[in-house]
Amino acid sequence: MFTHSTPIPTDDELNLTHQQPSKLLHPGVTADKSYHLLMKEKFWESLPGDSYGIRYFSFDADAMWEPVAEESELSPTGIHRRRGKPFEVEVKGKALSLSDRMVVTDTYSGTPVAVIVRLHLRLQSTFKIYTLTPNIDSQVPSKNHKYDGRDLYEFAVCKDKWHTVRRTLRTAVGDEYVTDHVGKALDPEIRITRNGQVCSHMKLQNLGLVTGNQWDIKIAPGIDPVVMIAFRVIMDEMNEDFL
């Protein structure tokens, strides 16, 4: 079976502490520790179009093993599961004519944190992440996009690199995240680097054509976990473009 040449990230690489970004996508979610998330995409029938929601669960390594709901991690015995807790953000979206967008919200307050917008009529599949407050000094709000009448400020742009399997995400403060496929070709795994250093490992746990994809995500300390979540959502959207 074909195996990608890029190596799977090691635990040492994922435990390496990175310099924290000057701007967090969600100020209430810190980047001072490592994260291990289970990201599950959930579909339901709502208004016409591609309407879906996603919830994320983080795991406590010391949590007790017990029989719980499906959105949890299997124990070594395969019989019990470790209970996960809701992560601090969730993502919901709709495809609305020529203005596809998803909204990142605080899980507990429902407050919007960021807006992900698909840009149409581009040679490369392109998305932008916007925040509701400026990300750099004297940043000018978007002329083309608002959220409930409020100004939006560009946080990052994400592109599907032409003629490659790589995706890139570049933030307004200059950080660049790049994806590479790792592991076996038929077992989707992604390595992400920030400015050339390994920062995240994403492995597909379940390909759900009806129920939604499920990803196991490890994030190094110093890396904004909400940016990684937004990047994963965008990658799923890009993959759907090829279906």
Distant-in-sequence, close-in-space partners of 209: CB < 8 Å, separation ≥ 6? none
pLDDT above 90 covers what percent of the chain? Answer: 47
- Give, in degrees to the nearest 5, the angle at Cα 231 between 157 and 72: 165
Number of domains in the chain: 1
Query: Is 75 within a domain?
Result: yes
Query: Is 5 within a domain?
Result: no
- pTM of the full structure: 0.83
Determine phi and psi for 64, rounding to 5 degrees: -75, 145
Query: Is 1 within a domain?
Result: no
Confidence of residue 3 (pLDDT cuts 50, 70, 90): confident
- Give the tens place of pLDDT for each residue, 206-240: 765 556 678 889 999 999 999 999 999 899 888 77
Q: What is the mean pLDDT of residues 178-183?
A: 93
Distant-in-sequence, close-in-space partners of 80: CB < 8 Å, separation ≥ 6? 65, 66, 67, 74
CATH number, position 200: 3.20.90
The count of other CB atoms within 10 Å of the CB of residue 187 is 11
Which range marks the domain in which residue 177 is found? Answer: 11-240
Query: Is 4 within a domain?
Result: no
Query: Is 180 within a domain?
Result: yes
Query: Is 2 within a domain?
Result: no
Q: What is the pLDDT of residue 99?
A: 54
- Give the tens place of pLDDT for each residue, 22-64: 999 999 999 999 998 888 776 543 333 343 445 555 554 444 4
Query: Is 6 within a domain?
Result: no
Q: Is the pLDDT of residue 167 over 80?
A: yes
Query: Is 3 within a domain?
Result: no
